Amino acid sequence: MSLPATARFPFTSDLSICRILGGMWQVSGAHGAIDPVRAVEAMFDYYDAGFTTWDLADHYGPAEDLVGAFRRQFATQRGSERLLEIQAFTKWVPPPGPMTRRIVEEAIGVSLRRMGTNRLDLLQFHWWDYRDRRYLDALRHLADLQDAGKIRHLALTNFDTERLGIIADAAIRIVSNQVQYSLVDQRPAAKMAAFCGAHGITLLTYGTLLGGLLSEKYLGRAEPGRGELATASLQKYKQMIDAWGGWALFRELLAALKRVADKHGVSIANVGTRVVLDRPAVAGVIIGARLGIAEHIADNSRVFNFAFDADDCAAIEPVLARSRDLMRLIGDCGDEYR
């Protein structure tokens, strides 16, 4: 299996990525136990199919260790000179507090050691409390580490548009921001996408498939009770659906998406992914991978085999038009965490 050229995106001048990133939150423990041997084997399967880009974090359980193990085995089996064919984007999510050079450098050193590399492809920084402006101290130190060659590119996760502006005014170069973006949660379209477009920043999106709720599995089904929501993702995104408009409206959305999917010979998940990939400023969509347990390699590859057209938009817009305004209800991207 190989992906078409359209599956790649020039993320930066020196870094090409797959537009579907393998999300590793699912190995953190909140989605069931993961066998590390089988997980690394699955990472080879993804790579061989063309899915070369991974999204992870320092607090996603063994995620950074799994990337390190994958890189070591890949170097042995395929050659260390080909390690550049793999992209692994990690995050640093510190508790608010002093952000000295030593604290920042030690944290990045842990990720470098765990991932078995001398330089992080992308470091995505998260901050919990905007009132504590020491996030700017952290970013300045991270920029220094980038100049020192320990970080290739610097990015953010779950920052809002206002803070993006503050960071840009501080002359800190950011290449991307990771935010929640789906047919249900379209807050990035309100103002963030335009800001990113004007400042050369792209978006990496998560929650696009609502933890698996945006799929045929839930088509026509009665509203699932809490006991049926067996993973952290299902619980999280069911709450987002409730805020957006409720299960009855979501069932209508799934039905409309199914008609579009059948027209193109793809899945509901493919349609949901394609819509977001086509939005301004979006570089890639992160789709969770329960490595060694449930793989969706063949289905994900179909995202690049069709184009979303005006008739498709007309089929789903009447449903979306009846939903609540999450920007007004929740706030800008990432506000749900603060």
Q: Tokens 């510190």, residue?
A: 94
According to DSSP, residue 325 is labeled: -
Give the tens place of pLDDT for each residue, 36-62.
Answer: 999 999 999 999 999 999 999 999 999
Q: Tokens 């537009």, residue?
A: 19
Instruction: Classify residue 293: in a domain, yes or no.
Output: yes
Please give the C-alpha separations between residue 205 and each of 75, 147, 188, in angstroms, as whole numbers: 29, 27, 10
Say what percent of the chain tops pLDDT 90. 91
Whether 33 shows a pLDDT value over 80: the answer reads no
Whether 227 shows a pLDDT value over 90: the answer reads no
Helix residue ranges, H only, the chain: 36-49, 63-78, 101-115, 135-147, 161-169, 192-199, 232-244, 247-264, 268-277, 297-301, 310-320, 326-329
Instruction: Classify residue 276: in a domain, yes or no.
Output: yes
Residue 175's nearest CA partner among 167, 186, 183 is: 167
Say what percent of the chain tops pLDDT 70. 99
Q: Tokens 């289905």, residue?
A: 299
| φ, ψ at 53 (rounded to 5°) | -115, 135
Mean pLDDT confidence for 126-143: 97
Whether 171 shows a pLDDT value over 60: the answer reads yes
pLDDT value at residue 296: 87
pLDDT value at residue 289: 87
Mean pLDDT confidence for 206-228: 95
C-alpha of 275 from chain center: 15
According to DSSP, residue 290 is labeled: B
Confidence grade of residue 315 (pLDDT, cut at 50, 70, 90): very high
Instruction: Classify residue 2: in a domain, yes or no.
Output: no
Q: Are 89 and 54 in contact (CB under 8 A)?
A: yes
Q: Are 161 and 192 in contact (CB under 8 A)?
A: yes
Write out the DSSP string of 63-125. HHHHHHHHHHHHHHHH-GGGGGG-EEEEEE-PPSS---HHHHHHHHHHHHHHHT-SSEEEEEE
pLDDT value at residue 34: 78
Instruction: Classify residue 123: in a domain, yes or no.
Output: yes
Mean pLDDT confidence for 294-299: 86
pLDDT value at residue 273: 98
| Average of per-residue pLDDT values in the chain | 95
pLDDT value at residue 26: 84
Mean pLDDT confidence for 135-163: 98
Instruction: Classify residue 34: in a domain, yes or no.
Output: yes
Mean pLDDT confidence for 285-311: 90
Structure tokens at 335: 């506000």
Task: State the pairing for strand pair 202-206/176-180.
Answer: parallel
**CATH (domain of 63):** 3.20.20.100
Instruction: Classify residue 313: in a domain, yes or no.
Output: yes
Could you list the residue range(s) of the whole structural domain that residue 219 is in? 7-337
Give the tens place of pLDDT for each residue, 85-119.
Answer: 999 999 999 998 999 999 999 999 999 999 999 99
Instruction: Classify residue 37: in a domain, yes or no.
Output: yes
pLDDT value at residue 295: 75
pLDDT value at residue 1: 56
Please give the C-alpha separations between residue 133 and each of 130, 156, 160, 163, 274, in angstroms, as whole numbers: 6, 15, 14, 10, 37
pLDDT value at residue 307: 94
Instruction: Classify residue 32: in a domain, yes or no.
Output: yes
Q: How many structural domains is the chain composed of?
A: 1
Tell me the C-alpha distance between 268 and 259, whole Å.
Answer: 9
